[in-house]
Amino acid sequence: MKAVIIYESMYGNTRTIADAIAEGLRPDEAIVVPVAQARPELLDGAGLLVVGGPTHIHGMSRASTRRGAALAAGKPQSGLMMLPGAEGPGLREWLAALGRVDGPAAAFDTRLEMPAVFTGRASSGIARLLRQHGCTMVTKPVSFLVTKDNRLRAGEDSRARDWGQLLSGILAARIPA
């Protein structure tokens, strides 16, 4: 089963989670692609689409929040570095341009280590838009947590690998023998 993982990442946390999910899914069967390089033909023949991004102001990033992330990274005391292409179009724009995509999907996000009622969850919006494009969500959206100094919380990469294994098991159970 070919799995395609498309992610948006400002500082690398969401990219790290996407890579860990791929490891859990079996790396030889998972393709991890930043949203800036995600072309529609990449989804041809995919048995699973996994989409994830950072939570910005209660949801998916916008051009204005990506500019804000770049400004934060530009401050010498921040210790943050923007990934190449992070200021370009994000998941919101990619999903808006996406045509019909039938098939199984899953959504994830990275967000601050606080209750979701305070931070919001980009994964909820991602899942809603994936459903609008014809995808069937195989599990509830999941969040991976980032500390206030913008580092992944300890153990989140392991949790992401476990989630990738869970996704693999869910799909295996859905495919008739």
The β-bridge relationship of strands 30-34 and 48-54 is unpaired
For the chain, what percent of residues have pLDDT higher than 90?
A: 76
Q: What is the pLDDT of residue 153?
A: 97
Q: pLDDT digits over 96-124, tens only?
A: 999 999 999 999 999 999 989 999 999 99
Give the mean model confidence (pLDDT) for residues 117-135: 96
Contacts of 28 (CB under 8 A, 6+ apart): none
Q: Which of 151, 8, 131, 28 is nearest to 78 (CA)?
A: 151
Tell me which residue range forms the domain holding 78.
3-174
The answer, yes or no, to whether residue 27 has pLDDT greater than 80, is no
Give the mean model confidence (pLDDT) for residues 75-98: 90
Domain of residue 138, CATH code: 3.40.50.360
The answer, yes or no, to whether residue 176 has pLDDT greater than 70, is no
Decide which of 4 and 71 is more confident: 4
Cα–Cα distance measured from residue 96 to residue 119, given in angstroms and rounded to the nearest whole number: 23
Decide which of 6 and 170 is more confident: 6
Cα–Cα distance measured from residue 113 to residue 103, given in angstroms and rounded to the nearest whole number: 31
Domains contained in the chain, number: 1
Give the mean model confidence (pLDDT) for residues 39-65: 93
**pLDDT, averaged across the chain:** 93
The residue to which tokens 């305070």 are assigned: 118
Q: Following DSSP, what letter does each residue of the chain receive, concatenated?
A: --EEEEE--SSSHHHHHHHHHHHHH-GGGEEEEEGGG--GGGGTT-SEEEEEEE-BTBBS--HHHHHHHHHHHHSGGG---PPTTTTS--HHHHHHH-----EEEEEEEEEESS-HHHHB-HHHHHHHHHHHTTEEESS--EEEEE-TTS-BPTTHHHHHHHHHHHHHHHHHHHS--
Q: Are 43 and 4 in contact (CB under 8 A)?
A: yes
